[in-house]
Amino acid sequence: MEAAVGRRLRRLREARGISLSALARSAGIGKATLSGLELGTRNPTLETLYAVAGALGVPLTALVLEPGAPATAAADVRGAAVEATLLEVFDEPGVTFELLRMRVHPGVVQQSPPHAPGVTEHATVHAGVLRAGPAGAPLVAGPGEHISWAADVPHVYGTVGDTPVEATLLIRSPRQ
C-alpha cells in the first residue's frame, strides 16, 4: 500500500505544481514524513492521509485508490482510534461520496485535520456511542442515530464509555 499511495501522492502534488515543503506546511506535517510517504518508506496513518488529502483538495480515495479501481481494492486505514474500510465511492458531477465502515476504539480521541472547503461527514451508528464532529463541539449519537458536521474544520472521533463504536461514515467532497 505504501508505495502505491506514495506514487499517487507525488503525482497529485506535482500536477498542482506544489513543492514538497509547501505541501508539508499546508498539511501540518513534517517534510521528512511527506518525503517518506512519497517514497513509500513510511506507513501512512489515517490522520496523515486526511491532512495531505485536505491540503491537496482531494478526497481520501484519491490517495488510497487508483482511478477507476473498485472500492474493495483500497487497503484498510487506521488512525489513533479509528479503523476504516472503504465500502464504495460514488462520483457525481461536482461531488464525490466515500462510504466507509468505521470502528472507533474506546480510550482514545482521534484528532482529524480539516478537509478541503465544503466537505461534510455523515455518521450512522450501529453499535456503541460515538462522539464526533467539530473539535470544539463534538456531537453524540447512539445505535440507530445519525450525526453530520462540516469537516473542513478540525474534528474528532471518540467513544462515550468503554464500548467500541461500529458505524458507517459518508464523506461528501465537492470537487475543487
Q: How far apart are CA 167 and CA 99, in angstroms?
A: 11
pLDDT digit string (tens) for 50-87? 889 889 988 888 898 888 889 888 888 899 999 999 99
Helix axes 46-56, 31-39, angle to 10 degrees: 100
pLDDT of residue 3 exceeding 90, the answer is no
Q: Please compute the mean of the pLDDT values over residues 13-20 and round it to a whole number.
A: 94
Using DSSP's 3-state secondary structure scheme, residue 60 falls into coil
